[in-house]
Amino acid sequence: MGNGVVNDRASALAPIEPKSLIGIVGNVAHQAPNWLFDFPAYELAIVEFDDQGCCQDRGQMRDLAEKISRLQENAKDAIIIVFTHGWKHDASSDDDNLKDFTHVLEQVVSYEGQQAAGQSTPQTPRPVLGIFAGWRGLSLYDNRFHILENVTFWDRQQAGRRVSTGSVRELFGYLHKYRKSRKDAAGGRPLLVIVGHSFGGMIVYSALEQSLIEAASAPSSRVTPSFADLVLLVNPAIEAVRYLPVQALVEERQNAQGNVPQPPVFVCVTAKNDWATGLAFPLGNLYSRFTEKSKPGHEREAILRTIGHISWMKTHDLAADAGSGGATDYKLSPSVQGDKGATPFWVVQATPDVINGHNDIFNARFLTFIADLVFTHADHTADRAANPEFHRNALTPPSS
């Protein structure tokens, strides 16, 4: 681990790279090798991938692999949150997604500390490790009108597809091995959450698709994916047709045997007013209508549109809780289209007061929803009655 304990995120990251008015972002690493940070409350690893899906610098992956190996060798449970950013972002020190992700890690630390202390027998909080998976989501930019970034859609979509089949799978492999080792151990309580936004959602889904299909097709009534406790996609830019095999298995399971109540293992959340996946994505992939063969009906629609913008895939609606008036209160309602809500595979559509557009994914209300998802997995036996509202305060975003 290269840097020792630091007190300031900004001073620990690489110097901010100056940008001209118009420019091209190189296919290079933005952070130094051996880039595993020890912050007072959590650890942060940054692993970057190039346009062909290979590691920008093997030192970043080696450090992370060694860290995960030490956790496994020491039989230590940890909370690991992985975030893969999307289009128009990268691992530069001034990237908004990187900054917001560190705030999320701080909030997870706070939540875990209070959760551990609030149990009938107080426990030592699990350490928190954040992993920021960076790739060249921003390749061309202009700092005045922000138009040039938009013409990179097709190019960055293809780059994201290459990343999804490359060294990011090595990263997920290390995490899978650690999680399985701790899950198999008596009393093991690791927690692994993998999150992808926009084209980052495409990367995560593509890399973990086999695991999700296996989970949905398992004969057991309880679904347990092998790679993570929760896979969360937010405004994912991926064709809905890719999700059809999972949906078919989930529907067959419901028709045959129903579902045992359990926390969701896959959640896809899309904002109703996300123009990037609702309008730009179908237009950008319009050529597929002429180059790909499909069955009439669902397949044809699913080739063009993303998962969250297809009504017959939706399982839940997410909105502000108008009855409470709280800044972080939300209401999750099963879809009116039958009893899909019992499935551990959720496709959620969010109103603008929860996610406003494509990039509004770090606001207080949505973070509260995510925290409730994540910590439902954390410890089913925890006694929450003593302090049932503490996550509402813990998840108020810090002032910039």
Task: Provide the pLDDT for residue 392.
Answer: 43
- Residue 48: what are its φ and ψ, rounded to 5°? -115, 145
Residue 139 has pLDDT above 80, yes or no: yes
Residue 193 has pLDDT above 70, yes or no: yes
Residue 1 has pLDDT above 50, yes or no: no
Task: Provide the pLDDT for residue 262.
Answer: 77
Distance CA 368, CA 359 (A): 17
Q: What is the mean pLDDT of residues 334-352?
A: 79
- Residue 14: what are its φ and ψ, rounded to 5°? -60, 155
Q: What is the mean pLDDT of residues 311-323?
A: 92
Residue 27 has pLDDT above 60, yes or no: yes
Task: Provide the pLDDT for residue 384.
Answer: 34
Task: Provide the pLDDT for residue 396.
Answer: 41
Q: What is the mean pLDDT of residues 270-294?
A: 82
Closest to 86 in 3D by CA, of 280, 237, 208: 237
- Which whole-number Å values give the CA distances from 147 to 135, 156, 200, 236, in the listed order? 21, 15, 21, 21
Task: Provide the pLDDT for residue 388.
Answer: 42
Distance CA 307, CA 318 (A): 15
Tally DSSP H helices, then E strands, for the chain.
Answer: 13, 12
Q: What is the DSSP secondary structure assignment for residue 311, as one 8-state letter?
A: G
Closest to 80 in 3D by CA, of 123, 117, 40, 127: 127
Residue 144 has pLDDT above 90, yes or no: no
Task: Provide the pLDDT for residue 173.
Answer: 96
Closest to 41 in 3D by CA, of 129, 115, 116: 129
pLDDT in tens, 350-364: 999 999 999 999 999
DSSP H stretches of helix in the chain: 9-12, 58-73, 96-117, 153-164, 168-184, 199-217, 244-256, 275, 281-284, 288-291, 298-304, 364-378, 390-394
Q: Give strand ranges (E) for 293-367.
A: 316-320, 330-334, 345-350
Distance CA 56, CA 75 (A): 30
Q: Which of 8-17, 98-107, 255-264 has the lowest mean pLDDT?
A: 255-264
pLDDT band at 96 (very low <50, low <70, confident <90, very high): very high
Q: Which of 14-28, 181-195, 213-227 has the lowest mean pLDDT?
A: 213-227
Which span out of 3-17, 226-240, 249-263, 292-306 was modeled with the highest average pLDDT? 226-240
pLDDT band at 244 (very low <50, low <70, confident <90, very high): very high
Q: Which of 103-117, 146-160, 215-229, 236-250 has the lowest mean pLDDT?
A: 215-229
Task: Provide the pLDDT for residue 7.
Answer: 41
Task: Provide the pLDDT for residue 6.
Answer: 38
SS3 of the chain: helix, strand, coil, percent, to 5: 40, 15, 45
Q: Which residues are CB-neighbours of 287 under 8 A, at least 6 positions away?
A: none
| Class of residue 369 by CB neighbours under 10 A (exposed 0-12, middle 13-18, buried 19+) | buried
Closest to 115 in 3D by CA, of 396, 372, 397, 399: 372
Residue 5 has pLDDT above 80, yes or no: no
pLDDT in tens, 37-91: 888 899 999 999 999 999 999 999 999 999 999 999 999 999 999 999 999 999 9
At how many degrees (to 10) do helices 168-184 and 199-217 cross? 40
